[in-house]
Chain A
Amino acid sequence: MRVLDRKLLRDALRLWAQGIAIALVLASGVGTLILSMGVYQSLDETLRAYYERHRFGHVFASATRAPRTLLPAIRALDGVSSADARVSGAAILDLPDLAEPASAMLLGLPDDGTAGHAASRGLNRVYVKRGQLPEPGRGNQIAINAAFADANGLGPGDTVSAVVNGRRTQLKVSAVVLSPDTIYAIGPGDLIPDDRRFGVFWMPDSELRAVYDLEGAFNQLSVLLQHGADAAPVMEAVDRLLKPYGGTASYGRDNHPSHAFIDTELSELRGMMVVLPPVFLLVTAFLVHMILSRLIALEREQIGLLKAVGYGRWAIAAHYLKLVMIIAALGILLGTAVGAWLGYGLTALYTRFFHFPFLIFRLSPEVFLIATAVAVAATAGGALGAVLRVVRLKPVVAMSPPAPPVFRRGRILPPALAKLFSESTVMVTRHLLRTPARSLLTMVGVSFSVAVMITSMFGLDSVDRMIEVTFHQSERQHANISFHEPNTWRAVNAIQRLPGVLRAEPFRTVSARLHHGHRHRRVAVQGKPDGADLSRVLDTSLEPVDLPPTGIAISQKLAEVLHAGPGDAVRLETLGREQGMHDLKISKVIQGYIGLGAYMSLDALNRLLGEDRLVSGVNLMLDDNRLDAFYREVKATPSIHAISLIRRAMHRFRETIGENIGIMVTTFSTLGIVIAFGVCYNSARVQLSERARELASLRVLGFSRWEVSRILLKEMGFLALAGIPLGWLVGYWLAWLASRGMQSELYQVPFLVEPATFARATVVVLGAVILSGAIVWRRIRHLDLIRVLKTRE
Chain B
Amino acid sequence: MAETIFEVRGVTRVYHTGEVAVHALRGVDLDLYAGEMVVLLGPSGSGKSTLLNIIGGLDSPTDGDVRFRGRSLGGLDDGGLTRYRRDHVGFVFQFYNLMPGLTARENVALVTEISRQPMTPEAALAMVGLEHRMDHFPAQLSGGEQQRVAIARAIAKRPEVLLCDEPTGALDSHTGVRVLEALTRVNEELGTCTAIITHNVSIRQIAHRVFLFADGRVGEAEVNANRLRPDEVSW
A: which residues have CB within 8 A of B? 2-4, 6-7, 10-11, 14, 301-302, 304-313, 394-396, 399, 792
- Asked whether, in the complex, the Cβ of B101 is within 8 Å of the Cβ of A3, the reply is no
> B82-117 toward A: CB 8 Å interface, digit per residue (1/0)?
110111011101010101111000110111011100
Cβ-based interface call for B58 (8 A): yes
Name the one of B56, B59, B100, B106 contacting A3, with C-beta atoms under 8 angstroms. Answer: B106
Question: Given known contacts A2-B113, A308-B91, A309-B110, is B97 in contact with A399 (CB within 8 Å)?
Answer: yes
A79 to chain B, nearest CB (A): 65
Question: Given known contacts A6-B102, A6-B106, A310-B86, is B114 in contact with A305 (CB within 8 Å)?
Answer: no
- Asked whether, in the complex, the Cβ of B86 is within 8 Å of the Cβ of A309, the reply is yes
A102 to chain B, nearest CB (A): 72
- Asked whether, in the complex, the Cβ of B53 is within 8 Å of the Cβ of A396, the reply is yes
- Asked whether, in the complex, the Cβ of B58 is within 8 Å of the Cβ of A7, the reply is no
Residues of A near B154 (CB, < 8 A) are 309
Question: Given known contacts A11-B101, A396-B58, is B109 in contact with A3 (CB within 8 Å)?
Answer: yes
Residues of B near A310 (CB, < 8 A) are 82-83, 85-87, 89, 111, 114-115
Question: Given known contacts A310-B87, A395-B58, is B82 in contact with A792 (CB within 8 Å)?
Answer: no
Q: How far is the CA of A6 from the CA of B83 in the complex (A)?
A: 23
Cβ-based interface call for B79 (8 A): yes
- Asked whether, in the complex, the Cβ of B113 is within 8 Å of the Cβ of A3, the reply is yes
Q: Give the residue name and chain of the A residue nearest to B121 (CB).
A: A3
> B123-143 toward A: CB 8 Å interface, digit per residue (1/0)?
000000000000000000000
Q: How far is the CA of A395 from the CA of B165 in the complex (A)?
A: 14
B121 to chain A, nearest CB (A): 9
Name the one of B83, B101, B111 contacting A309, with C-beta atoms under 8 angstroms. Answer: B111
The 6 closest A-B pairs by CB, nearest first: A310-B86, A396-B58, A310-B85, A305-B97, A396-B59, A10-B101
Residues of A near B113 (CB, < 8 A) are 2-4
Name the one of B87, B90, B99, B101 contacting A305, with C-beta atoms under 8 angstroms. Answer: B99
Q: How far is the CA of A3 from the CA of B95 in the complex (A)?
A: 21
Residues of B near A304 (CB, < 8 A) are 97
B48 to chain A, nearest CB (A): 13
Cβ-based interface call for B209 (8 A): no
Q: How far is the CA of A667 from the CA of B83 in the complex (A)?
A: 53
Residues of A near B102 (CB, < 8 A) are 3, 6-7, 10
Q: Give the residue name and chain of the B residue nearest to A395 (CB).
A: B58
Name the one of A302, A313, A394, A396 contacting B99, with C-beta atoms under 8 angstroms. Answer: A302
Question: Given known contacts A396-B58, A399-B93, is B106 in contact with A313 (CB within 8 Å)?
Answer: no
A68 to chain B, nearest CB (A): 83
Residues of B near A307 (CB, < 8 A) are 58, 82, 85
Cβ-based interface call for B158 (8 A): no
B79 to chain A, nearest CB (A): 7
- Asked whether, in the complex, the Cβ of A312 is within 8 Å of the Cβ of B99, the reply is no
- Asked whether, in the complex, the Cβ of B82 is within 8 Å of the Cβ of A313, the reply is yes
A368 to chain B, nearest CB (A): 34
B84 to chain A, nearest CB (A): 8
Extra inter-chain contacts (19) besides given A307-B58, A310-B87, CB under 8 Å: A6-B102, A6-B106, A7-B102, A7-B106, A301-B97, A305-B97, A307-B82, A307-B85, A308-B85, A308-B97, A309-B86, A309-B91, A310-B86, A310-B114, A310-B115, A394-B58, A394-B59, A396-B53, A396-B58
Cβ-based interface call for B199 (8 A): no
Cβ-based interface call for B78 (8 A): yes
B92 to chain A, nearest CB (A): 10
Selected A-B contacts with CB under 8 Å, 13 pairs: A3-B102, A3-B107, A4-B110, A10-B101, A10-B102, A307-B85, A308-B91, A308-B97, A309-B85, A310-B82, A310-B83, A310-B87, A310-B111
Cβ-based interface call for B153 (8 A): yes
Q: Give the residue name and chain of the A residue nearest to B102 (CB).
A: A7
Question: Given known contacts A3-B109, A7-B102, A311-B82, is B95 in contact with A792 (CB within 8 Å)?
Answer: yes
- Asked whether, in the complex, the Cβ of A312 is within 8 Å of the Cβ of B82, the reply is yes
A3 to chain B, nearest CB (A): 5
Residues of B near A3 (CB, < 8 A) are 102, 106-107, 109-110, 113
